Chains A and B, each alone.
Chain A
Amino acid sequence: MIGSLRPVGLIARREFVARVRGRAFLLSTVAVLVLLGVYAAVVATIASSEDTARVGVVGPATALTGPIQRAAPTEGLMVAVVMQPDVAAGEAAVRAGDLDALVSGEPTRPRVYVESEPEADLERTLVDATSSLARDAYLTGQGVDPGALDAAVGESGPVVIAAEPPDPQAGVRLGLGLGGAFLLFFSIQTYGAMVAQGVVEEKASRVVEIVLSSVRPWQLLLGKVLGLGGVGLLQLVVLGGAGLAVAAVAGVLTAGAGLVSTIVSVVVWYLLGFALYATVFAAAGSLVSRQEDTQSVLSPITVTVLLGFVVGFNLLTSDPRGTAITVISLLPPFSPLFMPARVALGVAPVGQVVLAFALTLAFTAVVLALGGKIYANSVLRTGARVSLREALGRART
């Protein structure tokens, strides 16, 4: 057994070194890192742009300063109230974009000057402020202390007891899950296609005949899958690590949000998923003899994976506990893409994970047997594309 594994190791090493030194690996890694950086930058910009609304007050409307500041938090708005010397200066500041709105005139019926239209939450804040000012004035006129009323009202309200309190880390978990699903999809598509290209390259250059006079087809196939799987894993670790580092620096990520279990499940599912898809890709690649024909045998596979990924990804963001995504994540070809995401989201019962793992393992075993047979039967046949029926015929001994 040791003797038959040495060639596998040699083949895996050749594939690994050839790819890691190749330009494609470097370019694709850098490209994804850049994409990741741009994404982080966009998210950061969106987050910082909705921080604080700046409201200018002038004249009698200055009385609204307190009510605005008290009303803003209930509308989920951060607000800075700035005194303006006069209406003209305030309106100029609005036009210059330094202020979001200028409030002037009668406090209970103020004039609000904005660039085009007020933000909805700012408008609600102003409505709250004016109505509370009007209410306080009315109550004072009726001999009621508005402060005492506020205190009495403030103590009222329901006490909510949740059977399942919402996870404060839900956002982080969703991010981890979706990120993991995306990386798995990306790695499997990229490196699976590389396995197929490698198989076709060996067939097209005919070197496969020399190699197969030294080693068995299963050794060549296994070495190839291990070598390229290793490259994919390396890239997964680099990209995943970079993603986590970005998240940690941005302060989004905190330890303990299922981080370790997510990383472990992404890696484990990657290994299983890659073995599954790489075998399918290799078998498909072995059917053709020219690089130009590769795409025609790969597209049915890549399109299936892509469709599954898009559907699953949407379900994952909209309804991670739904029946549809549960079923998809239990179907072997898609389990490797979505089970880790559901694990990260904390919505996958242990029983389902175990079931999906067992199903995928069984499915992979079948794929390995069939794919290995197709590969062994077709890898030495040059010329016309080999039909699946021929490829599944008698295996060579």
Chain B
Amino acid sequence: MLEIDGISKRFGSTVALDGMTFTVRPGELYGFVGANGAGKTTTMRIALGVLAADAGEVRLEGRALDAASRRRIGYMPEERGLYPRMAVGTQLRYLAELRGRSAADAREAADRWTERLGIADRRGDEVQRLSLGNQQRVQLAAALVAEPEVLVLDEPFSGLDPMAVDVMGEVLRERCDAGAPVVFSSHQLELVERLCDRVGIVRAGRLVAEGTVDDLRSASATELVVAAPHAPEGWAEVLPGVAATRSAESGLVLTLADGSEETITAVLDAARRTGPVHEFRRRRPALAEIYRDTVADRSAGVAA
């Protein structure tokens, strides 16, 4: 279990993190989303000890992280980096050994991961001779080669081709199923929605919403999609319990002030009175919409 507990960090007069708190459980894939500059990278760098926090603590299995326990974390920094003039295989073995693996383990793991990621035939090549896509694969191998018990990955999907995205997704799921806490940040929200068990939305250095995608959905306003082709213009605005309407998707999207059965039944009855109803369903907002609403809400709150 990886616990980020009340981390704060300032850079000069800029507050980068303000009491950032969340927990990634064993076997859980945690998606970390937020705008650029919201504090995702800073959080991860602090977790890896690359940056010092002004306040707060990062714990692994209940104990504050130290140099030894950090070596059990596989890390992919946002700023990708490898030794450009070092061969792929040598480099992976070196990085594994730096994290405390024996020479034999390191060799075995480097061979296995280059095989798995489809770069086995490039083991002897200098990293700078590889294409950017292949360098990304080496970067992922570098995060995995020390057989980490925890994975912290900053934007692991950026710059990957669709094939590599699939492999990356598989690998993350696999590590989770093996019981590792895995946290990654991403701007690709549909990927986060598809892959993650839980999602944390970060804004201005704080976690503003957290939960499974379903949790986040039920916390947001209920929306109905109604397709009633003979309904007159503005039929829905006047209904009790309807806060807003907009034309979208295959019909009219109604945002309800409350998601109670009575309100929904009343809307259905009203729709049927206008003629045939081709479609009537609860709308499942995408994570991207929840994210936008969450971040917008907070901005409004701050402005007020």
Contact = CB atoms under 8 A, between A and B. Distances in A.
B77 to A, nearest CB: 4
A209 B70 CA distance: 13
Contacts of A209: 45, 50, 77, 79, 81
Nearest to B128: A205
A4 B45 CA distance: 21
B48 interface: yes
Contact of A10 (B52, B85, B98): B98
B71 interface: yes
Contacts, number: 63
B290 interface: no
Contacts of B238: none
B98 A205 contact: no
B171 interface: no
A380 B50 contact: yes
Interface residues of B, number: 29
Contact of B98 (A3, A18, A214, A380): A214
B86 A18 contact: yes
Most buried by B among A210, A211, A216, A397: A210
A212 B79 CA distance: 13
A210 B51 CA distance: 12
Contact of A14 (B77, B94, B99): B94
**B contacts with A: majority SS:** loop
A18 B126 CA distance: 12
A201 B127 CA distance: 14
Most B CB contacts (10 A, CB to CB) among A7, A214, A397 go to A214
Contacts of A389: none
B52 A396 contact: yes
Interface in A361-397: 380, 382, 396-397
A210 B95 contact: yes
B81 A210 contact: yes
A255 B142 CA distance: 54
B275 interface: no
A206 interface: yes
In the complex, which of the residues A11, A205, A211, A396 has the most CB atoms of chain B within 10 Å of its own CB atom? A205
Interface string B70-96: 110101010111111110000000110
A14 B45 CA distance: 25
Contact of B77 (A3, A201, A206): A206
Given A3-B68, A10-B98, A18-B86, A213 B81 contact: no
Interface string A174-207: 0000000000000000000000000001100111
A10 B81 CA distance: 19
A10 B83 contact: no
Nearest to B44: A213
A137 B74 CA distance: 104
A208 interface: yes
Contact of A206 (B51, B68, B81, B98): B81
A214 B70 contact: yes
A206 B41 CA distance: 14
B52 A382 contact: no
B81 A208 contact: yes
A215 interface: yes
B50 A213 contact: yes
| Most A-side CB within 10 Å, residue of B71, B77, B142 | B77
A199 B99 CA distance: 20
A210 B52 contact: no
Contacts of B97: 10
A207 B143 CA distance: 12
A108 B196 CA distance: 115
B67 interface: yes
A205 B81 contact: yes
A213 B49 contact: yes
A7 B82 contact: no
Interface string B147-180: 0000000000000000000000000000000000
A380 B81 contact: no
Interface in A249-264: none
Contacts of B77: 206, 209-210, 213
Contacts of A215: 67, 98
A206 B83 CA distance: 9
Interface in B89-115: 94-95, 97-100
Contacts of A11: 98
A382 B81 CA distance: 13
Contacts of A4: 67
Contacts of A18: 85-86
Contacts of A382: 79
A172 B94 CA distance: 47
Given A18-B86, A205-B84, A206-B80, A211 B51 contact: no
Contacts of A10: 94, 97-98
A18 B73 CA distance: 27
A270 B68 CA distance: 34
B29 to A, nearest CB: 21
Given A3-B68, A214-B98, A215-B98, A205 B73 contact: no
A205 B82 contact: yes
Nearest to B79: A206
14 contacts: A4-B67, A10-B97, A201-B83, A205-B83, A206-B77, A210-B75, A211-B98, A212-B49, A213-B50, A213-B70, A213-B75, A213-B77, A214-B70, A215-B98
Given A210-B77, A211-B98, A396-B52, 8 more contacts: A201-B83, A201-B84, A209-B79, A210-B81, A213-B48, A214-B71, A214-B146, A380-B50
Interface of A: 3-4, 6-7, 10-11, 14, 18, 201-202, 205-216, 380, 382, 396-397
Give me the 5 closest cross-chain CB pairs, A-B, nearest first: A206-B81, A207-B81, A213-B48, A396-B52, A206-B79
